[in-house]
Amino acid sequence: MPTLMVSVSGIRGIVGDGLDPHTIVKYTSAYSDFCGKGKIIVGRDARITGEMVNSIITGTLLAKGNDVIDIGICPTPTVLYNVKKLGAVGGIAISASHNPNEWNALKLLNSKGEFMTLEENKQMLELLNTSNEKYELWDKIGKLTSFADGLKNHMHEVLKMKYIDVEAIRKRKFKVLLDCVNGAGVYIMSELLKEFGCEVIELNCEKSGIFPRLPEPIPENLTKTMEAVKMHGADLGVVVDPDVDRLVLITDKGEPFSEENTIAQAVRFVLSKEKGSVVVNLSTTRAVDDIAKKFNCKVFRSPVGEANVVSKMQEVDAVIGGEGSGGVIFPALQYGRDALVGTAIVLQHLVEFGGSISELKDAMPIYFIAKRKIKLGDVNPDAIIEKLISKYNSESINTEDGLRIDAEDHWVHFRKSNTEPIIRCIAEAKTEDQANAFIDKYFSEIKELM
């Protein structure tokens, strides 16, 4: 079975086995009709299939009569930034994010330079069957422009961001170990850190576009990176995923700062500057609530996914938001997860905190998250989640995205996967043992419900 997944996070598949030229033409044509006439920004991450996918997308958009501005290899947030900056009608970021080498994807943006909403996606998909038939005559096709400054412009905007004092950061002379997994981060992250006066030690910063390890920035994939931070005596490790929307930090002791803490520390920093609402997804650490409480600020939860977090942030006019997987959304720059923004915030935060990043970690609320997949076989995941909802109806629950139960000493979030017959179960408690014990408890309850 060829693999192609269509969701709010984009059109994702294995190249040569699902994400094929005719499929790319079909979706790009529908997307063009959705956007209408005007210029469309195209950028791609570093993976080796990027050029092929880019050529087909660009050719299709030109045939549709759209002008294309190609900003080359760059982070996904750089595509978002340029859509807004250049007044485009849309943008396509070609990246399968943290998926391995064989995958690629089209991440589709609206004219505001944000991920398309659920509603916009629906409108676009309705055009799928008619779009292929309509192309422009020879003298009405679009023009292609290469725009090499797209990346630099994004970086300069980050350096000018509010609350960021570049001179003060330069004085700290941070020694940073940078791991870009040979992805798009190679094209900007080292330069950004050097602008902040950092001494940069590069690991997996080759322009090969081939990931030397599994690209998801989670601790089990970062053992060598953590060792390198310690070996080089770096002040911190900065790790980004292949398209640089997720930022994960490593302490000076060579330990995970914890991916959940990337957003938690950003919340702590921004709320110390301005009071306002915070939005994180339903799977994000409770540390965010504890921090917001100290500042007398409110936390709102959204379903998982950047588009959902952004919608909620706009609804409640949040000052900071994001996702526990390392995604920081700071609306002062843009409504999208951005590891360049996250890096600037953590460096400024460390300057104002005064201590090391391991000391900052100790100053954060301590929680442990345990994650597990529950295999269901033929059992319908929706039915199981419904049964859980009726069982826990009298507790403090949220059912906007599966089921989240909030108890005094822990929370748990059950979500069905869109791609496999499984339920994802995430539990957080004060210790690792407790988190695992809660997962075991819910596991046996689900077994009984099956």
Catalytic, 97? Answer yes
Per-residue contact string for residues 107-136; x = within reach of Mg ion by CB under 5 A: ------------------------------
What is the footprint of Mg ion within residues 150-179 (CB under 5 A)? Answer: none
Per-residue contact string for residues 75-104; x = within reach of Mg ion by CB under 5 A: ----------------------x-------
Least CB distance from residue 89 to Mg ion, whole Å?
Answer: 24
- Euclidean distance between CA atoms 58 and 153, whole angstroms: 22
| 3-class secondary-structure state, position 151 | helix
CA distances, 9 to each of 63, 95, 218, 425 (Å): 25, 11, 20, 21
- Euclidean distance between CA atoms 50 and 55, whole angstroms: 9
Q: Which is nearer to Mg ion, 10 or 142 (CB)?
A: 10
Q: Which is nearer to Mg ion, 33 or 45 (CB)?
A: 45
Is residue 431 within 8 A of residue 424, CB to CB? The reply is no
What is the footprint of Mg ion within residues 236-275 (CB under 5 A)? Answer: 241, 243, 245
Number of residues that bind Mg ion (CB under 5 A): 4
| 3-class secondary-structure state, position 60 | helix
Least CB distance from residue 241 to Mg ion, whole Å?
Answer: 4
Q: Which is nearer to Mg ion, 235 or 243 (CB)?
A: 243
Least CB distance from residue 13 to Mg ion, whole Å?
Answer: 16
Least CB distance from residue 62 to Mg ion, whole Å?
Answer: 27
Task: List own/partner pairs for 135-140 with CB under 8 A and 24 or more apart.
Answer: 135/63, 135/64, 136/63, 136/64, 136/65, 140/65
Q: Which is nearer to Mg ion, 87 or 212 (CB)?
A: 212
Q: Which is nearer to Mg ion, 70 or 241 (CB)?
A: 241
Tokens standing for residue 292: 């917001």
Q: Residue 235, interface with Mg ion (CB under 5 A)?
A: no
Least CB distance from residue 181 to Mg ion, whole Å?
Answer: 11
Least CB distance from residue 410 to Mg ion, whole Å?
Answer: 28
**Which sign does the torsion angle of CA 107, 112, 114, 116 carry?**
negative
Residue with tokens 């982070």: 75
CA distances, 96 to each of 3, 10, 23, 52, 169 (Å): 13, 9, 16, 14, 33
Give 298: exposed, middle or buried? Use CB within 10 Å, 0-12, 13-18, 19+: middle
Per-residue contact string for residues 194-233; x = within reach of Mg ion by CB under 5 A: ----------------------------------------
Q: Which is nearer to Mg ion, 242 or 256 (CB)?
A: 242
Give me the catalytic one of 97, 111, 190, 325.
97
- Euclidean distance between CA atoms 83 and 80, whole angstroms: 5
Tokens standing for residue 404: 């989240």
Q: Which is nearer to Mg ion, 243 or 428 (CB)?
A: 243
CA distances, 400 to each of 283, 284, 303, 320, 397 (Å): 12, 14, 6, 21, 10
Least CB distance from residue 327 to Mg ion, whole Å?
Answer: 8
- Euclidean distance between CA atoms 32 and 24, whole angstroms: 12
Nearest to 442 by CA among 367, 379, 385, 382: 385
Contacts of 92 (CB under 8 A, 6+ apart): 28, 31, 40, 41, 42, 43, 57, 79, 106, 107, 108, 109
Q: Which is nearer to Mg ion, 215 or 402 (CB)?
A: 215
Q: Please identify the residue of the shown chain whose CB is closest to the bound Mg ion.
A: 97
- Catalytic residue positions, numbered: 97
Point out which residues bind Mg ion (CB under 5 A).
97, 241, 243, 245
